[in-house]
Structure 1
C-alpha cells in the first residue's frame, strides 16, 4: 500500500500523483520502508493536546479541508492544494493484517501509531463522525475496517504519543485552527470557540429579529394607510349621495 519507486531509483517516465517511496541501493524493501518512516520531532505544537473536535468530519465541515482518500500510505496526513486537501490512508485492514505477520513490512510501533491516527480522525464513539464515515465508505468504496479503529483517551490524544506522524499532525492541526468558516453551515458546526460561536449566533438572531419586526412595522404602517384611504373613500361616497 505504498507507491514504491524503482529499486535503482525513480521511474524515468510516468506520473501517478502519489509520493513515491524510494527503494535504491543494496537495501531490501523492508529496510527502505524503515528508513523512510522515521520518528519526526522537527516541529513544536502550540497546544500539547489534540481536542475532541479534531476529527476528519470536522476538518471538512468546520475547516473546509477536503478529505482525499488514498491507498498510498506515504501520503497519509499530507496536506496539498494550499492546505485545502488532506490525504488519508484508509486501509486499516491492511495494517491489522501486518500485525499478524511474523515478518511484516512495517514495524509494529509504526502500524500501531498509524491505526491510532485513524482512531483520532474517526472515533467510534462520535455519532456524527460514524454516520458521516458510513456515507464516505459507501460513496468511495473505502475499507469498512476504517470505521472500527476504536477511540483515544485524553492521554493518548497528546502529540507526545505520536512519533512517526507527529509533524504532519501538527501541520494539519495548525491548518484546522487557522481555518475560518465559509458559510452558515460551517459557522453552525464551528464550536472551537464557544464564546465566539454564541456571540455570532446571538448577533444573527438580533439582526433577524430587527429585520422581522421592522418588516412587520412597515406592513402594519402600509395596512393602516390603506385602511384609512378606504375609509376616506367610503365617507366621501356617502357625502356625495
Structure 2
C-alpha cells in the first residue's frame, strides 16, 4: 500500500490538518502518478482541495521527490498573519522599517532559498501583497520592507487553497496573472468521500499507529466497524 506520512509531525509547528495519505483508490493512484510526474520539474504547483485533504502533506511529498529535496521546505499559512505583518513575514524587513523593527530579519522566501516555499491558503493574501509576490516569481528576487536592495532568491513555490481561485479572480479578489503564474502545474485533491477505496487502508493505518503508541497488542477492525466506516458520508 503506497503511504506517505509527515516526518516528525509532533515537532512541526505549522498547522497540520492531515498527517497521513494512502493511495489505494483509483483516484488516489492517479494523483500519485501525477505527483511523481510533476515533482522532478521545477514548475510552480497549485494544490486545490478541501480542508483536511492533506495539501501540506502532498506539498512536502512533491518537495521530497524533487531535486531540491536536500534543501529547506518552508510552510507558511498566508491566513495566519495580519495584513500589516504579512509583507514583513514573507519578504523580510530592515532595521527601523516600522515601529518595533529593532533588527533586520529575513522573510520566509529567504529562509527557503534553494528549496521550496509552501504558501497555504494563498487566496487569503491581500491584493497589494499579491502584486509583490508576482514580481518575486517574475524577477526571482525579493526586496525587504524598508530596503531598496533586491536579494536574488532561488525557490520553488507550491501554493494551496480550499477555495476556487477562478471564482476569486472573476470577483476581483485574486490577480489573474498571479493565478496563472502559480498554476503552472495543478493538483486537485479529492475528499475522502470521493475516494472510498482509501477509507479502510487509512483506518487500519491509524489503528496500527495508535495501537503501537498505546502499547496494545494486535487490533483488527470488526466487519461491522468497516461497514460503518464505508457508509459514513465523510463531510
TM-score, normalized by length of structure 2? 0.23
Decide which structure has the larger Cα Rg and report it: 1
TM-score (norm 1): 0.23
Higher RCO (C-alpha under 8 Å, 6+ residues apart): 2
